[in-house]
Amino acid sequence: MRKISIFGATGSIGQNTIDLITRDMDSYDVVALTGGQNIAQLAKDARQLRADVAVTADPIRLQELRDALTGSDVEAAAGAEAIAEAAARPADWVMSAIVGAAGLRPGLVALEQGATLALANKESLVTAGALIMGTAARSKGHILPVDSEHSAVFQGLVGEDMDAVERIIITASGGAFRDWSLEDMAKATPEQASSHPNWNMGQRITIDSASMFNKALEVIETKEFFQCPHEMIEVLVHPESMVHALVGFSDGALMAHVGPPDMRHAIGYALHHPERRKLPVERLDLAKIGTLNFRTPDLKRYPALRLAHDVLQAGGHAGAVFNAAKEIALDGFIDHRVGFLQMAEVVEEVLDRLSGSQCLKIDEMTLDTVTETDHLARKTAREVIAELNR
Ligand code: NAD
Ligand code: MG
Protein backbone atom coordinates (compact mmCIF):
# COMPACT_ATOMS: atom_id res chain seq x y z
CA MET A 1 0.00 0.00 0.00
CA ARG A 2 1.28 3.45 -0.86
CA LYS A 3 1.25 6.02 1.89
CA ILE A 4 -0.17 9.30 0.59
CA SER A 5 -1.05 12.75 1.93
CA ILE A 6 -3.09 15.53 0.34
CA PHE A 7 -2.42 19.16 1.24
CA GLY A 8 -5.33 21.39 0.20
CA ALA A 9 -7.61 18.33 0.11
CA THR A 10 -10.83 20.36 0.22
CA GLY A 11 -9.99 22.46 -2.86
CA SER A 12 -10.56 21.79 -6.52
CA ILE A 13 -7.29 19.85 -7.09
CA GLY A 14 -7.64 18.12 -3.71
CA GLN A 15 -11.15 16.91 -4.49
CA ASN A 16 -10.10 15.66 -7.94
CA THR A 17 -7.24 13.78 -6.27
CA ILE A 18 -9.66 12.24 -3.77
CA ASP A 19 -11.94 11.25 -6.66
CA LEU A 20 -9.08 9.17 -8.13
CA ILE A 21 -8.03 7.72 -4.76
CA THR A 22 -11.54 6.59 -3.78
CA ARG A 23 -11.82 4.56 -7.00
CA ASP A 24 -8.96 2.37 -5.76
CA MET A 25 -9.04 2.70 -1.96
CA ASP A 26 -7.28 -0.61 -1.25
CA SER A 27 -4.07 0.65 -2.87
CA TYR A 28 -3.63 3.64 -0.57
CA ASP A 29 -2.94 4.27 3.08
CA VAL A 30 -3.87 7.92 3.70
CA VAL A 31 -1.63 9.71 6.19
CA ALA A 32 -2.78 13.36 6.23
CA LEU A 33 -5.49 15.50 4.70
CA THR A 34 -5.48 19.27 5.16
CA GLY A 35 -8.03 21.96 4.43
CA GLY A 36 -9.06 25.46 5.40
CA GLN A 37 -12.57 26.65 6.24
CA ASN A 38 -14.58 23.75 4.84
CA ILE A 39 -14.50 21.63 8.01
CA ALA A 40 -17.45 19.44 7.01
CA GLN A 41 -15.75 18.37 3.76
CA LEU A 42 -12.40 17.79 5.46
CA ALA A 43 -13.96 15.62 8.17
CA LYS A 44 -16.10 13.68 5.69
CA ASP A 45 -13.09 12.88 3.47
CA ALA A 46 -10.83 12.09 6.42
CA ARG A 47 -13.40 9.59 7.72
CA GLN A 48 -14.00 8.03 4.33
CA LEU A 49 -10.29 7.73 3.51
CA ARG A 50 -9.46 6.71 7.11
CA ALA A 51 -6.70 9.31 7.33
CA ASP A 52 -4.34 9.30 10.31
CA VAL A 53 -4.71 13.06 10.75
CA ALA A 54 -6.89 15.90 9.44
CA VAL A 55 -5.59 19.45 9.73
CA THR A 56 -7.39 22.74 9.21
CA ALA A 57 -5.25 25.78 8.46
CA ASP A 58 -7.44 27.84 10.81
CA PRO A 59 -6.63 27.36 14.54
CA ILE A 60 -10.02 28.82 15.54
CA ARG A 61 -11.80 25.93 13.83
CA LEU A 62 -9.97 23.15 15.75
CA GLN A 63 -12.80 22.34 18.14
CA GLU A 64 -15.26 22.24 15.26
CA LEU A 65 -12.99 19.77 13.44
CA ARG A 66 -12.64 17.65 16.60
CA ASP A 67 -16.43 17.56 16.95
CA ALA A 68 -16.85 16.60 13.29
CA LEU A 69 -14.40 13.71 13.75
CA THR A 70 -15.90 12.38 17.01
CA GLY A 71 -16.18 8.62 16.98
CA SER A 72 -13.53 8.16 14.28
CA ASP A 73 -9.84 7.29 14.69
CA VAL A 74 -8.78 10.41 12.82
CA GLU A 75 -6.62 12.81 14.81
CA ALA A 76 -7.54 16.52 14.52
CA ALA A 77 -5.04 19.38 14.35
CA ALA A 78 -4.94 23.03 13.28
CA GLY A 79 -2.64 25.82 12.16
CA ALA A 80 0.39 26.24 9.92
CA GLU A 81 2.70 24.39 12.34
CA ALA A 82 0.36 21.41 12.39
CA ILE A 83 0.31 21.40 8.58
CA ALA A 84 4.13 21.34 8.53
CA GLU A 85 4.11 18.57 11.13
CA ALA A 86 1.70 16.55 8.98
CA ALA A 87 4.05 17.04 5.99
CA ALA A 88 6.91 15.57 8.05
CA ARG A 89 4.98 12.31 8.56
CA PRO A 90 6.47 9.70 6.22
CA ALA A 91 4.51 9.33 2.99
CA ASP A 92 5.47 7.99 -0.45
CA TRP A 93 3.38 10.45 -2.45
CA VAL A 94 2.23 13.91 -1.39
CA MET A 95 -0.17 16.15 -3.28
CA SER A 96 0.71 19.84 -2.86
CA ALA A 97 -2.59 21.59 -3.63
CA ILE A 98 -2.80 24.41 -1.12
CA VAL A 99 -3.43 27.69 -2.95
CA GLY A 100 -0.89 30.52 -2.61
CA ALA A 101 2.46 30.98 -0.92
CA ALA A 102 1.25 28.96 2.11
CA GLY A 103 1.84 25.82 0.02
CA LEU A 104 5.62 26.23 -0.06
CA ARG A 105 6.60 25.08 3.42
CA PRO A 106 4.66 21.79 3.54
CA GLY A 107 6.04 20.93 0.09
CA LEU A 108 9.61 21.52 1.26
CA VAL A 109 9.05 19.43 4.39
CA ALA A 110 7.53 16.60 2.34
CA LEU A 111 10.51 16.62 -0.06
CA GLU A 112 12.92 16.56 2.85
CA GLN A 113 11.31 13.42 4.26
CA GLY A 114 11.81 11.78 0.85
CA ALA A 115 8.31 11.92 -0.64
CA THR A 116 7.41 12.22 -4.29
CA LEU A 117 5.81 15.65 -4.41
CA ALA A 118 2.97 16.03 -6.90
CA LEU A 119 3.16 19.79 -7.31
CA ALA A 120 -0.03 21.62 -8.16
CA ASN A 121 0.93 24.61 -6.00
CA LYS A 122 2.64 26.66 -8.71
CA GLU A 123 3.47 29.37 -6.19
CA SER A 124 6.19 27.08 -4.73
CA LEU A 125 8.19 27.23 -7.95
CA VAL A 126 7.40 30.89 -8.58
CA THR A 127 8.42 32.12 -5.14
CA ALA A 128 11.23 29.70 -4.42
CA GLY A 129 12.20 27.77 -7.54
CA ALA A 130 15.88 27.45 -6.60
CA LEU A 131 15.00 26.38 -3.06
CA ILE A 132 12.43 23.74 -3.94
CA MET A 133 14.42 22.31 -6.88
CA GLY A 134 17.57 22.33 -4.72
CA THR A 135 15.74 20.54 -1.90
CA ALA A 136 14.50 17.89 -4.34
CA ALA A 137 18.04 17.40 -5.68
CA ARG A 138 19.54 17.10 -2.19
CA SER A 139 16.88 14.85 -0.66
CA LYS A 140 15.54 11.48 -1.71
CA GLY A 141 12.32 13.20 -2.72
CA HIS A 142 11.41 14.31 -6.19
CA ILE A 143 8.88 16.53 -7.90
CA LEU A 144 6.27 15.71 -10.53
CA PRO A 145 4.38 18.62 -12.11
CA VAL A 146 0.58 18.66 -11.80
CA ASP A 147 -0.21 21.95 -13.49
CA SER A 148 -1.72 20.68 -16.76
CA GLU A 149 0.70 22.58 -19.02
CA HIS A 150 3.76 21.41 -17.10
CA SER A 151 2.53 17.84 -16.94
CA ALA A 152 2.07 18.07 -20.73
CA VAL A 153 5.63 19.40 -21.26
CA PHE A 154 6.99 16.75 -18.88
CA GLN A 155 5.23 14.04 -20.88
CA GLY A 156 6.54 15.57 -24.14
CA LEU A 157 10.09 15.32 -22.82
CA VAL A 158 10.04 11.64 -21.83
CA GLY A 159 13.03 9.99 -23.54
CA GLU A 160 14.19 13.30 -25.04
CA ASP A 161 17.40 15.25 -24.57
CA MET A 162 16.84 18.76 -23.16
CA ASP A 163 19.68 19.97 -25.44
CA ALA A 164 17.50 19.22 -28.45
CA VAL A 165 14.65 21.41 -27.18
CA GLU A 166 14.28 24.79 -28.91
CA ARG A 167 11.00 26.03 -27.50
CA ILE A 168 8.40 25.22 -24.91
CA ILE A 169 4.94 26.52 -25.72
CA ILE A 170 2.26 26.59 -23.05
CA THR A 171 -1.29 27.37 -24.02
CA ALA A 172 -3.81 29.68 -22.37
CA SER A 173 -7.56 29.60 -22.86
CA GLY A 174 -7.72 33.37 -22.50
CA GLY A 175 -10.07 33.00 -19.51
CA ALA A 176 -13.40 34.68 -18.97
CA PHE A 177 -12.58 37.88 -20.88
CA ARG A 178 -10.73 36.62 -23.91
CA ASP A 179 -13.12 38.37 -26.31
CA TRP A 180 -13.79 41.48 -24.18
CA SER A 181 -12.61 45.00 -25.07
CA LEU A 182 -10.03 46.67 -22.82
CA GLU A 183 -12.72 49.18 -21.70
CA ASP A 184 -14.99 46.37 -20.58
CA MET A 185 -12.10 44.53 -18.89
CA ALA A 186 -11.36 47.68 -16.87
CA LYS A 187 -14.90 47.50 -15.42
CA ALA A 188 -15.01 43.72 -14.90
CA THR A 189 -16.32 42.45 -11.55
CA PRO A 190 -15.00 39.52 -9.47
CA GLU A 191 -18.22 37.64 -10.23
CA GLN A 192 -17.64 37.97 -13.98
CA ALA A 193 -13.98 36.95 -13.64
CA SER A 194 -14.85 33.90 -11.54
CA SER A 195 -16.39 31.85 -14.31
CA HIS A 196 -14.03 29.99 -16.62
CA PRO A 197 -15.14 28.96 -20.10
CA ASN A 198 -13.38 25.53 -20.05
CA TRP A 199 -11.94 24.55 -16.67
CA ASN A 200 -13.66 24.11 -13.33
CA MET A 201 -11.14 25.42 -10.75
CA GLY A 202 -10.84 27.34 -7.48
CA GLN A 203 -11.93 31.02 -7.52
CA ARG A 204 -8.46 32.54 -7.25
CA ILE A 205 -6.89 30.62 -10.16
CA THR A 206 -10.03 31.26 -12.23
CA ILE A 207 -9.63 35.04 -11.81
CA ASP A 208 -5.90 34.66 -12.47
CA SER A 209 -6.81 32.93 -15.73
CA ALA A 210 -8.91 35.91 -16.84
CA SER A 211 -6.01 38.31 -16.15
CA MET A 212 -3.40 35.77 -17.38
CA PHE A 213 -1.58 36.16 -14.09
CA ASN A 214 -2.03 32.40 -13.98
CA LYS A 215 -0.14 32.05 -17.28
CA ALA A 216 2.50 34.47 -16.05
CA LEU A 217 3.02 32.28 -12.97
CA GLU A 218 3.20 29.28 -15.30
CA VAL A 219 5.88 30.88 -17.48
CA ILE A 220 8.00 31.31 -14.34
CA GLU A 221 7.07 27.79 -13.21
CA THR A 222 8.23 26.42 -16.60
CA LYS A 223 11.60 28.14 -16.36
CA GLU A 224 12.16 26.92 -12.79
CA PHE A 225 11.01 23.34 -13.31
CA PHE A 226 12.61 22.64 -16.69
CA GLN A 227 15.63 24.91 -16.03
CA CYS A 228 15.48 26.40 -19.52
CA PRO A 229 16.24 29.96 -20.69
CA HIS A 230 13.12 32.10 -20.38
CA GLU A 231 13.45 33.24 -24.00
CA MET A 232 12.59 29.63 -24.95
CA ILE A 233 9.14 29.85 -23.35
CA GLU A 234 6.15 30.98 -25.40
CA VAL A 235 2.46 31.43 -24.62
CA LEU A 236 -0.20 30.73 -27.19
CA VAL A 237 -3.89 31.54 -26.76
CA HIS A 238 -5.89 28.41 -27.50
CA PRO A 239 -9.58 28.90 -26.67
CA GLU A 240 -10.48 25.17 -26.74
CA SER A 241 -8.00 24.17 -23.94
CA MET A 242 -7.28 20.80 -25.53
CA VAL A 243 -3.67 21.23 -26.55
CA HIS A 244 -2.07 21.87 -23.16
CA ALA A 245 1.53 22.43 -24.27
CA LEU A 246 3.92 21.80 -27.13
CA VAL A 247 7.62 21.06 -27.11
CA GLY A 248 9.60 22.21 -30.16
CA PHE A 249 12.79 20.32 -31.05
CA SER A 250 15.87 21.28 -33.05
CA ASP A 251 14.71 19.18 -36.03
CA GLY A 252 11.57 21.31 -36.31
CA ALA A 253 9.22 18.74 -34.75
CA LEU A 254 6.55 20.02 -32.39
CA MET A 255 5.23 17.45 -29.92
CA ALA A 256 1.78 18.49 -28.71
CA HIS A 257 -0.04 17.10 -25.70
CA VAL A 258 -3.76 16.87 -26.48
CA GLY A 259 -6.42 15.93 -23.95
CA PRO A 260 -9.71 17.02 -22.39
CA PRO A 261 -9.62 19.93 -19.91
CA ASP A 262 -9.84 17.66 -16.86
CA MET A 263 -7.23 17.96 -14.10
CA ARG A 264 -7.66 14.29 -13.23
CA HIS A 265 -5.39 13.53 -16.19
CA ALA A 266 -2.39 15.46 -14.84
CA ILE A 267 -3.10 14.35 -11.27
CA GLY A 268 -3.46 10.70 -12.36
CA TYR A 269 -0.28 10.89 -14.44
CA ALA A 270 1.64 12.11 -11.37
CA LEU A 271 -0.07 9.51 -9.17
CA HIS A 272 0.88 6.53 -11.34
CA HIS A 273 4.15 7.81 -12.82
CA PRO A 274 6.19 6.21 -14.37
CA GLU A 275 3.28 3.96 -15.41
CA ARG A 276 0.23 5.03 -17.37
CA ARG A 277 -3.03 3.68 -15.96
CA LYS A 278 -6.63 3.95 -17.07
CA LEU A 279 -8.13 7.27 -15.97
CA PRO A 280 -11.79 8.34 -15.87
CA VAL A 281 -11.40 11.25 -18.29
CA GLU A 282 -13.23 11.90 -21.55
CA ARG A 283 -11.69 10.46 -24.73
CA LEU A 284 -11.54 13.26 -27.30
CA ASP A 285 -13.22 12.80 -30.65
CA LEU A 286 -11.11 15.12 -32.82
CA ALA A 287 -13.30 14.57 -35.89
CA LYS A 288 -16.26 15.90 -33.92
CA ILE A 289 -14.22 18.84 -32.56
CA GLY A 290 -13.04 19.62 -36.11
CA THR A 291 -11.09 22.82 -35.51
CA LEU A 292 -8.59 23.97 -32.93
CA ASN A 293 -7.61 27.65 -32.82
CA PHE A 294 -4.39 29.37 -31.79
CA ARG A 295 -3.36 33.01 -31.58
CA THR A 296 -0.65 35.20 -30.09
CA PRO A 297 -1.66 36.85 -26.78
CA ASP A 298 -2.06 40.63 -26.86
CA LEU A 299 0.35 41.97 -24.23
CA LYS A 300 -1.70 45.18 -23.89
CA ARG A 301 -4.61 43.11 -22.65
CA TYR A 302 -2.39 40.80 -20.64
CA PRO A 303 0.45 42.87 -19.08
CA ALA A 304 1.06 40.04 -16.57
CA LEU A 305 2.81 38.08 -19.34
CA ARG A 306 5.28 40.90 -19.93
CA LEU A 307 5.91 41.13 -16.18
CA ALA A 308 6.70 37.39 -16.00
CA HIS A 309 9.65 37.84 -18.35
CA ASP A 310 10.81 40.92 -16.37
CA VAL A 311 10.73 38.77 -13.22
CA LEU A 312 12.77 36.00 -14.85
CA GLN A 313 15.28 38.53 -16.09
CA ALA A 314 15.61 40.00 -12.59
CA GLY A 315 15.99 36.52 -11.02
CA GLY A 316 16.64 35.96 -7.29
CA HIS A 317 13.63 36.77 -5.15
CA ALA A 318 11.72 38.67 -7.85
CA GLY A 319 9.33 35.71 -8.20
CA ALA A 320 8.44 35.95 -4.50
CA VAL A 321 7.75 39.69 -4.91
CA PHE A 322 5.66 39.07 -8.01
CA ASN A 323 3.57 36.35 -6.40
CA ALA A 324 3.00 38.18 -3.10
CA ALA A 325 2.05 41.43 -4.85
CA LYS A 326 -0.28 39.48 -7.13
CA GLU A 327 -1.94 37.75 -4.14
CA ILE A 328 -2.61 41.11 -2.43
CA ALA A 329 -3.81 42.72 -5.67
CA LEU A 330 -6.15 39.75 -6.19
CA ASP A 331 -7.51 40.11 -2.63
CA GLY A 332 -8.10 43.78 -3.50
CA PHE A 333 -9.94 42.86 -6.69
CA ILE A 334 -12.12 40.30 -4.89
CA ASP A 335 -12.96 42.99 -2.26
CA HIS A 336 -13.74 45.59 -4.97
CA ARG A 337 -10.83 47.85 -3.92
CA VAL A 338 -8.72 47.22 -7.04
CA GLY A 339 -9.95 47.25 -10.63
CA PHE A 340 -9.36 44.26 -12.88
CA LEU A 341 -6.65 45.94 -14.98
CA GLN A 342 -5.25 47.72 -11.92
CA MET A 343 -4.02 44.38 -10.56
CA ALA A 344 -1.11 44.39 -13.01
CA GLU A 345 -0.40 48.05 -12.27
CA VAL A 346 -0.13 47.26 -8.56
CA VAL A 347 2.21 44.33 -9.20
CA GLU A 348 4.40 46.34 -11.57
CA GLU A 349 4.63 49.20 -9.08
CA VAL A 350 5.65 46.81 -6.27
CA LEU A 351 8.30 45.22 -8.50
CA ASP A 352 9.61 48.72 -9.33
CA ARG A 353 9.67 49.90 -5.72
CA LEU A 354 11.49 46.78 -4.52
CA SER A 355 13.84 46.38 -7.48
CA GLY A 356 16.74 47.94 -5.59
CA SER A 357 15.86 46.52 -2.17
CA GLN A 358 18.38 44.54 -0.17
CA CYS A 359 16.24 41.45 0.15
CA LEU A 360 16.20 40.95 -3.62
CA LYS A 361 19.98 40.80 -3.64
CA ILE A 362 20.39 37.92 -1.14
CA ASP A 363 22.46 35.24 -2.86
CA GLU A 364 21.31 32.17 -1.03
CA MET A 365 17.61 31.40 -1.03
CA THR A 366 16.17 29.92 2.16
CA LEU A 367 12.62 29.62 3.48
CA ASP A 368 13.41 32.63 5.72
CA THR A 369 14.63 34.86 2.86
CA VAL A 370 11.60 33.92 0.77
CA THR A 371 9.24 34.58 3.70
CA GLU A 372 10.89 37.91 4.44
CA THR A 373 10.60 38.97 0.78
CA ASP A 374 7.00 37.79 0.68
CA HIS A 375 6.11 39.92 3.75
CA LEU A 376 7.86 43.00 2.40
CA ALA A 377 6.13 42.67 -0.98
CA ARG A 378 2.71 42.22 0.68
CA LYS A 379 3.27 45.33 2.82
CA THR A 380 4.38 47.33 -0.23
CA ALA A 381 1.39 46.11 -2.24
CA ARG A 382 -0.99 47.21 0.54
CA GLU A 383 0.65 50.66 0.51
CA VAL A 384 0.32 50.90 -3.27
CA ILE A 385 -3.37 49.93 -3.07
CA ALA A 386 -3.99 52.44 -0.25
CA GLU A 387 -2.43 55.17 -2.42
CA LEU A 388 -4.65 54.13 -5.34
CA ASN A 389 -7.76 54.49 -3.19
CA ARG A 390 -6.78 57.80 -1.63
P1 NAD B 1 -8.84 25.93 -4.16
O2 NAD B 1 -9.02 27.33 -3.73
O3 NAD B 1 -9.97 25.20 -4.76
O4 NAD B 1 -8.30 25.06 -2.91
C5 NAD B 1 -7.24 25.50 -2.13
C6 NAD B 1 -6.97 24.59 -0.96
O7 NAD B 1 -5.96 25.21 -0.13
C8 NAD B 1 -8.17 24.35 -0.05
O9 NAD B 1 -8.09 23.06 0.52
C10 NAD B 1 -7.97 25.41 1.05
O11 NAD B 1 -8.59 25.06 2.26
C12 NAD B 1 -6.48 25.38 1.20
N13 NAD B 1 -5.92 26.63 1.73
C14 NAD B 1 -6.24 27.90 1.33
N15 NAD B 1 -5.49 28.80 2.02
C16 NAD B 1 -4.69 28.08 2.84
C17 NAD B 1 -3.67 28.43 3.81
N18 NAD B 1 -3.34 29.70 4.05
N19 NAD B 1 -3.04 27.43 4.48
C20 NAD B 1 -3.37 26.14 4.24
N21 NAD B 1 -4.32 25.74 3.35
C22 NAD B 1 -4.96 26.70 2.66
O23 NAD B 1 -7.57 25.93 -5.13
P24 NAD B 1 -7.28 24.97 -6.37
O25 NAD B 1 -7.91 25.52 -7.57
O26 NAD B 1 -7.49 23.55 -5.98
O27 NAD B 1 -5.72 25.23 -6.55
C28 NAD B 1 -4.75 24.69 -5.66
C29 NAD B 1 -3.35 24.96 -6.22
O30 NAD B 1 -3.23 24.24 -7.45
C31 NAD B 1 -3.09 26.42 -6.58
O32 NAD B 1 -1.76 26.72 -6.37
C33 NAD B 1 -3.42 26.50 -8.06
O34 NAD B 1 -2.72 27.53 -8.72
C35 NAD B 1 -2.94 25.13 -8.53
N36 NAD B 1 -3.59 24.63 -9.73
C37 NAD B 1 -4.93 24.45 -9.76
C38 NAD B 1 -5.56 23.98 -10.92
C39 NAD B 1 -7.04 23.71 -10.94
O40 NAD B 1 -7.52 23.18 -11.93
N41 NAD B 1 -7.79 24.03 -9.92
C42 NAD B 1 -4.80 23.72 -12.05
C43 NAD B 1 -3.42 23.91 -12.00
C44 NAD B 1 -2.82 24.36 -10.83
MG1 MG C 1 -2.23 25.42 -15.69
- For position 84, which CATH number holds? 3.40.50.720
Asked if residue 244 and residue 135 are part of one domain, the reply reads: no
Q: Where are the beta strands (DSSP E) in the chain?
A: 2-7, 28-35, 53-56, 75-78, 93-96, 116-119, 142-145, 165-172, 233-237, 243-249, 254-258
Do the Cβ atoms of 219 and 305 come closer than 8 Å?
yes
5-43 pLDDT, tens digit each = 999 999 999 999 999 999 999 999 999 999 999 999 999
Has residue 193 got a pLDDT over 90?
A: yes
Asked if residue 355 and residue 228 are part of one domain, the reply reads: yes
Residue 356 pLDDT grade (very low, low, confident, very high; cuts 50, 70, 90): confident
What lies within 8 Å, CB to CB, of 79 at 6+ separation is 55, 57, 58, 59, 62
Q: How far is the CA of 151 from the centre of ligand 2 (A)?
A: 9
Q: What is the CATH number of the domain that holds 368?
A: 1.10.1740.10
Asked if residue 182 and residue 311 are part of one domain, the reply reads: yes
Q: How far is the CA of 165 from the centre of ligand 1 (A)?
A: 31
Would you tell me the crossing angle of helices 122-138 and 213-226 to the nearest 10 degrees?
Answer: 10
DSSP 301-365: T-HHHHHHHHHHHH-TTHHHHHHHHHHHHHHHHHTTSS-TTHHHHHHHHHHHHHTT-HHHH-SS-
Has residue 240 got a pLDDT over 90?
A: yes
Asked if residue 169 and residue 140 are part of one domain, the reply reads: no
Has residue 176 got a pLDDT over 90?
A: no
Q: Which atom of ligand 1 is nearest to the CA of 200?
A: 40
Residues in the ligand 1 pocket, defined by CB under 6 Å? 8-14, 35-36, 57, 83, 97-100, 102-103, 120-123, 147, 199, 201-202, 204-205, 263
Residue 181 pLDDT grade (very low, low, confident, very high; cuts 50, 70, 90): very high
In a domain? residue 272:
no
Asked if residue 135 and residue 179 are part of one domain, the reply reads: no
Mutate to test the pocket of ligand 1, among 45, 123, 198, 205 (most ligand atoms within 8 A of CB): 205
Range of the domain at 322: 162-260+292-388
pLDDT of residue 360: 72
Q: How far is the CA of 9 from the centre of ligand 1 (A)?
A: 8
Express as a percent the part of the chain with pLDDT over 90: 94
Asked if residue 141 and residue 170 are part of one domain, the reply reads: no
Express as a percent the part of the chain with pLDDT over 70: 100
Q: Which atom of ligand 1 is nearest to the CA of 123?
A: 32
**Which bound ligand lies closest to the C-alpha atom of 100?**
1
**Which bound ligand lies closest to the C-alpha atom of 101?**
1
In a domain? residue 222:
yes
